[in-house]
Amino acid sequence: MAEDWWSVASEVGKIDPGYARIGRIQAVPNRPGAEDLAQRRGREAVANWKGKAEWSVTGAGDSWLPQPASGLVVLDSLSARINPARAMLCLAEALRRSGCDILEGTSEGGKTEFTVWATGHEGLQQINRDFAAEIGRGEKGQALMIDYYAGSMPQIYSDGIHVVPHANGTTSVGSTSERYFTSPSTVDAKLDELHSRAIRTIPAIRNAAVIAKWAGVRPRTANRTPLLGRHPRRNGQFIANGGFKTGFGFAPLVGESMAQLILENTSRIPEEFLCDYHLGPRLVKSN
């Protein structure tokens, strides 16, 4: 779905979000059971992906990931890359060209019939306060961009690190997962450590200059699933939150499902993602 969705956004917004289904290579860990698990997921992919993408367990072959100790990698053709900053510019421009107003630097908004609170980890803290509960929190992530052209190589996931080649000849390396942090947007020695680990995993990137470093905060609910739907207490208000580590991937589907709920009053949102499900017992207690 994301492939078509970003292609339309790019056509309307006239900015390339850098989206491409480049696939992914993952090293199969060298431990008992790892190969069986990878093979099982391959069988599940046949059933769940319905031929739209493939998952195969194979030898490392010719790739920028060195041969892992297990001698095996997983190749999937489902994974995609996107350039987050350019994707946001593309989306904003597509909205403007479609007649939407974008007001920046204010939380006042217009006088609208409906409001969607898509306010990330700050919104989760607000929900915690409103319902006197721990519904969610922020989890900081630091990442960096290097001057490395990986051609048409698939992205890599190995040793907990994502290495993602972008369309513009740069490559991203990420990311840390920090439950406790004081500054949401600054980088520190944890990112240097991640960079060193990435170089150990993929020696080919060792001489690439660092172009940018950044940090952000992922909105994480207590059970790690999205938090979507009607605001349980405010008429005409809705919440779209809890994207956590897959918020970009899910965004097109979340956007369409929320629009359907708001404009057509029909829902295809799984029950366990709904606000009422996340807040259920607290709603009874705090009302």
Contact positions vs ligand FAD (CB under 6 A): 107, 118-120, 122-123, 141, 143, 174-175, 216, 218-219, 241, 243-249
Taking the complex as a whole, how short is the minimal distance between the CB of residue 195 and ligand FAD, in angstroms? Answer: 13
Residue matched to tokens 């709904």: 274
In one-letter notation, the amino acid at residue 175 is S
Q: For residues 80 and 3, is the Cβ–Cβ distance under 8 A?
A: yes
Taking the complex as a whole, how short is the minimal distance between the CB of residue 62 and ligand FAD, in angstroms? Answer: 25
Taking the complex as a whole, how short is the minimal distance between the CB of residue 61 and ligand FAD, in angstroms? Answer: 24
The CA angle 149-151-156, to the nearest 5 degrees, is 85
Taking the complex as a whole, how short is the minimal distance between the CB of residue 247 and ligand FAD, in angstroms? Answer: 2
Task: Pick the closer one to ligand FAD by CB: 30 or 185.
Answer: 185
Task: Pick the closer one to ligand FAD by CB: 29 or 249.
Answer: 249
Taking the complex as a whole, how short is the minimal distance between the CB of residue 68 and ligand FAD, in angstroms? Answer: 22
Task: Pick the closer one to ligand FAD by CB: 36 or 272.
Answer: 272
Task: Pick the closer one to ligand FAD by CB: 72 or 158.
Answer: 158
Query: What is the rounded end-to-end Cα distance, in angstroms, of the chain?
Result: 39
Taking the complex as a whole, how short is the minimal distance between the CB of residue 120 and ligand FAD, in angstroms? Answer: 2
Task: Pick the closer one to ligand FAD by CB: 201 or 221.
Answer: 221
Q: How far apart are CA 242 and CA 222, in angstroms?
A: 9
Task: Pick the closer one to ligand FAD by CB: 72 or 79.
Answer: 79
Task: Pick the closer one to ligand FAD by CB: 83 or 241.
Answer: 241
Structure tokens at 140: 């900081």
DSSP characters over the chain: -HHHHHHHHHHHH-S----B---EEEEPPSSTTHHHHHHHHHHHHHHHHTTSS-EEEEE--SSSSPPPTTSEEEEESS--B--HHHHHHHHHHHHHHTT-----S-S---S-S-EEE--HHHHHHHHHHHHTS--EEEEEEEEEEE----TTPPEEEETTEEEEE-TTS-EEEE---BSS-S-SS---HHHHHHHHHHHHH-GGGTTPPEEEEEEEEEEEETTSS-EEEE-SSSTTEEEEE--GGGHHHHHHHHHHHHHIIIII----S-GGGBHHHHHHHHHHHH-
Task: Pick the closer one to ligand FAD by CB: 9 or 118.
Answer: 118
Taking the complex as a whole, how short is the minimal distance between the CB of residue 174 and ligand FAD, in angstroms? Answer: 5
Minimal CB distance to ligand FAD: which residue?
247
Taking the complex as a whole, how short is the minimal distance between the CB of residue 34 and ligand FAD, in angstroms? Answer: 23
